[in-house]
């Protein structure tokens, strides 16, 4: 008998909050799957697909891609996972109320019985700015694992590709990305509260290994 997705974990938090790194821990240690809308967008731009050409400007200028375009790729990915019993992480989606409504609608029509869990990584802007200034990513677009300059690594420990900086982590773009994030955050969280979906806060200030330990405890209580 085929299994359906039972749990979707939505990671909410500004760029640099640690969503990607926490996802990596969940993939490696819990066997979960992750879909990062940002990573998917960068891959399309790199491959110069039609979708990539449409979103290139938005990404480079720190703006959001249209709700309709982004929801379509999330829906396609989730639909492809429906015979998989893993818990899945949505990293960076939904980011607006319209996206949250679309997701909610999708779950009630195609993923009945699937629970939605919201994990908010709480973090100050100072920590975010510090982390983004030293963030490095794997240059393999199939991987895009996240590192810090402080790790002192030149190559990805997962696939051996060289590490590089993200162009949208440049100082002038970061400010726009953070402004865009905070412009939507309150509405998004209010939407979940109205839907009586609890928002589970995790203190993202601490080292990511500590964050992961707390997260695992939380997961045991949630699922
Ligand atoms: P991220 O890797 O999550 O920081 O996302 C990088 C960029 O991808 C963002 O600055 C947006 O331009 C775009 N993006 C990622 N996720 C979304 C989303 N849910 N809605 C709209 N744009 C997105």
Residue 154 is classified by DSSP as S
Q: Evaluate whether 99 touches 16 at the Cβ level (below 8 Å).
A: no
DSSP-assigned letter for residue 223 = -
pTM to 2 decimal places: 0.94
* Residue 182 Cα to ligand 1 middle (Å): 13
Nearest to residue 11, comparing CAs of 43, 65, 21, 78?
A: 21
Collect all residues with Cβ–Cβ distance below 8 Å to 195 and sequence separation of at least 6: 104
Residue identified by tokens 């818990």 is 87
C-alpha 137 to ligand 1 mean position (Å): 16
CA of 65 to the centre of ligand 1 (A): 7
Query: What pLDDT sits at residue 2?
Result: 40
Ligand 1 site residues (CB inside 6 A) read: 15, 37-38, 41, 58-59, 62-65, 70, 92-93, 95, 99, 177
Backbone angles phi, psi at 94, to 5 degrees: -75, 155
Q: Can the peptide bond before residue 94 be classed as cis, meaning omega within 30 degrees of 0?
A: yes
Q: What pLDDT sits at residue 172?
A: 87
- Please give the pLDDT value at position 1: 36
Ranges of the chain with pLDDT below 50: 1-2
Mutate to test the pocket of ligand 1, among 18, 19, 44, 59 (most ligand atoms within 8 A of CB): 59
Each residue's pLDDT tens digit, 16-63: 999 999 999 999 999 999 999 999 999 999 999 999 999 999 998 889
| Phi and psi torsions of 83, nearest 5° | -95, 20
Tell me which residue has its CA closest to atom 8 in ligand 1: 38
Give, for ligand 1, the residue of 14, 15, 64 to mutate: max count of ligand atoms closer than 8 Å to Cβ: 64
Indicate which atom in ligand 1 lies nearest the CA of residue 74.
19
């Amino acid at each position: 008998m085929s299994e359906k997705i039972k749990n979707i974990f939505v990671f909410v938090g500004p760029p640099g909050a640690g969503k990607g790194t926490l996802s990596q821990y969940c993939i490696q240690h819990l066997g979960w799957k992750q879909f990062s809308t940002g990573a998917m967008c960068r891959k399309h731009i790199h491959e110069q697909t039609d979708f990539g050409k449409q979103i290139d400007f938005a990404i480079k200028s720190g703006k959001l891609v249209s709700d309709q375009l982004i929801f379509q790729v999330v829906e396609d990915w989730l639909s492809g996972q429906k015979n998989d019993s893993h818990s899945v992480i949505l990293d960076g989606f939904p980011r607006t109320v319209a996206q949250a409504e679309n997701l909610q609608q999708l779950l009630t029509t195609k993923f009945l019985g699937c629970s939605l869990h919201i994990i908010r990584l709480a973090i100050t802007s100072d920590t975010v700015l510090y982390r983004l200034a030293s963030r490095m990513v794997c240059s393999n677009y199939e991987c895009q694992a996240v590192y810090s300059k402080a790790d002192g690594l030149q190559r990805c420990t997962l696939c051996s590709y060289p590490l590089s900086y993200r162009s949208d982590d440049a100082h002038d773009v970061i400010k726009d990305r953070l402004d865009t994030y905070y412009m939507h955050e309150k509405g998004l969280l209010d939407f979940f509260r109205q839907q009586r979906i609890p928002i589970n806060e995790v203190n993202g200030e601490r080292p990511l290994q500590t964050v992961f330990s707390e997260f695992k405890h939380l997961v045991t209580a949630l699922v």
